[in-house]
């Protein structure tokens, strides 16, 4: 009888324990449902704010990049191409290193081989190869043809983002990209009489296309790096899922007990490292252009233009770029690239007294429309 009573008691205890487990599990599910609902309610305003902030950063980056045409006017006739690039990168580093401070020293030992590879690819594609292909191509083709071909960069970026990042290309985004490309073509003079493609310029046009593709690859690589870092921030919202192992390095406990170490780079540190790598790549060809004698012959205005090219067109523009691309998709960022020729157009009118025709102003309007359409949220 005692044994039977004990068995009944034990059975009742197990049943109570199971009921307790089910109640506890129900409580966990209710809490998870509340967290999910709260997250969903707060997600839309947060994403909208991040997108707007990213759009402002991207606009600032390409506006600064657009001033490069004016700055180059003061040094292009006196310096070699890679001397200009290397000199501007030196000025950029002089401005960036004090901003980084001790963060750069703490970060360097913790960079993985993958981090260095991504930084090297961004420096190689976004600065060195882009300028190399473009400048070599301009020697073998006309400026008008080159301007038309560089207008395909937003479309190439969107296509790569769709293939590599699986970014959605819905109707309003496609319309925005088409408007941006059309605007760039008009600003660059695609509607001018006498502009066309000639067989003798095939090699030069091919190099210009390579430059446009390098810029598109750089755009997508930048977005890949931001997604890789951003995934940690998203996962870290789960309690106990992420912790800081060391300054600048986070580790996330992924399903299955796997720990994934991901290097976190802020825009200033990332810009400094990319600039330094690009300088190392540009120095060898710059040394073949007798840079010392050329630099010694510069006047005050040319030195100011070179400093502007480094501190603002390179350093600040890249900081804005990395801050923007971490908040916006690559195809959205591609539409903002139209601000570069549009800014150059406005500065040519205000500072150089040029008088563009109505096709260029129409192109600027299409660029603005393209940015607005591409930045619209997905209707679904």
Predicted confidence (pLDDT) per residue in 351-362, tens digit: 777 777 788 788
- Residue 9 belongs to some domain of the structure: no
Beta pairing class for 249-254 and 258-263: antiparallel
Summarised one tens digit per residue, pLDDT across range 213-226 is 999 999 999 999 88
Category of 298 on φ-ψ map: left (φ > 0), alpha (ψ -120 to 50) or beta: beta
Q: How far apart are the first and last CA of the chain?
A: 68
> Per-residue pLDDT tens for 79-125?
888 999 999 999 999 999 999 888 898 889 888 999 999 999 999 99
CB atoms within 10 A of CB 157: 28
Residue 173 covered by a domain: yes
Question: What's the pLDDT tens digit per position in 276-334?
Answer: 999 999 999 999 999 999 999 999 999 999 999 999 999 999 999 999 999 998 888 88
Q: In this structure, is residue 100 part of a structural domain? A: yes
Q: What is the pLDDT of residue 5?
A: 45
Strand-strand pairing, 242-246 and 249-254: antiparallel
Number of domains in the chain: 1
- Alpha-carbon distance of 198 to 315, in angstroms, equals 37
In a domain, 210, yes or no: yes
Does 38 map to a domain? no
Helix (H, G, I), strand (E, B) or coil at 246: strand
Q: Is residue 17, in this structure, part of any structural domain at all?
A: no
Q: Which uninterrupted H or E stretch holds 288? A: none
Q: Which domain holds residue 77?
A: 58-375
Asked if residue 96 belongs to a domain, the reply is yes
For the sheet with 242-246, list strands across it: 242-246, 249-254, 258-263
Nearest to 308 by CA among 131, 57, 75: 75
Give the closest residue to 194 by CA, choosing from 148, 138, 137. 148
C-alpha 255/C-alpha 280 separation (Å) is 41
Q: Does residue 208 fall inside a structural domain?
A: yes
Tokens in use for 258?
A: 């796997």
The span from the CA of 307 to the CA of 290, in Å, is 20
> What is the pTM assigned to this prediction?
0.75
């Amino acid at each position: 009888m005692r044994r039977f009573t004990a068995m009944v008691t034990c059975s009742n205890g197990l049943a109570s324990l199971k009921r307790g487990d089910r109640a506890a599990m129900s409580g966990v599910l209710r809490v998870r449902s509340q967290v999910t609902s709260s997250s969903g309610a707060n997600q839309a305003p947060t994403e909208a704010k991040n997108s707007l902030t990213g759009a402002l950063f991207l606009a600032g980056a390409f506006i600064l990049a657009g001033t490069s045409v004016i700055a180059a006017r003061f040094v292009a006739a006196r310096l070699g191409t890679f001397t200009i690039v290397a000199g501007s990168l030196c000025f950029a580093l002089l401005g960036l290193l004090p901003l980084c401070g001790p963060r750069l020293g703490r970060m360097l030992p913790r960079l993985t081989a993958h981090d260095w590879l991504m930084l090297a690819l961004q420096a190689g594609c976004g600065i060195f190869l882009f300028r190399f292909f473009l400048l070599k191509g301009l020697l073998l083709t006309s400026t008008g043809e080159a301007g038309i071909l560089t207008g395909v960069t937003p479309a190439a970026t969107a296509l790569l983002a769709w293939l590599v990042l699986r970014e959605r290309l819905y109707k309003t985004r496609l319309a925005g990209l088409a408007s941006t490309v059309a605007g760039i073509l008009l600003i660059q003079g695609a509607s001018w009489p006498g502009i066309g493609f000639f067989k003798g310029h095939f090699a030069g046009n091919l190099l210009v296309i390579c430059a446009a593709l390098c810029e598109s690859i750089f755009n997508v690589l930048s977005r890949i790096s931001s997604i890789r870092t951003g995934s940690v921030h998203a996962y870290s919202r789960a309690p106990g899922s992420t912790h800081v192992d060391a300054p600048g390095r986070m580790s996330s406990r992924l399903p299955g007990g796997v720990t994934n170490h991901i290097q976190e780079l802020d825009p200033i540190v990332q810009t400094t490292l990319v600039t330094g790598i690009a300088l190392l790549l540009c120095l060898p060809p710059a040394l073949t252009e007798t840079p010392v004698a050329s630099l010694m012959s510069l006047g005050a205005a040319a030195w100011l233009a070179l400093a502007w090219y480094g501190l603002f067109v390179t350093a600040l523009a890249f900081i804005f770029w990395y801050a923007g691309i971490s908040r916006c998709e690559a195809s959205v960022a591609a539409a903002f690239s139209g601000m570069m020729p549009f800014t150059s157009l406005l500065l040519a009118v205000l500072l150089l007294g040029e008088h563009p025709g109505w096709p260029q102003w129409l192109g600027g309007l299409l660029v603005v429309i393209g940015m607005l359409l591409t930045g619209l949220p997905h209707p679904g």
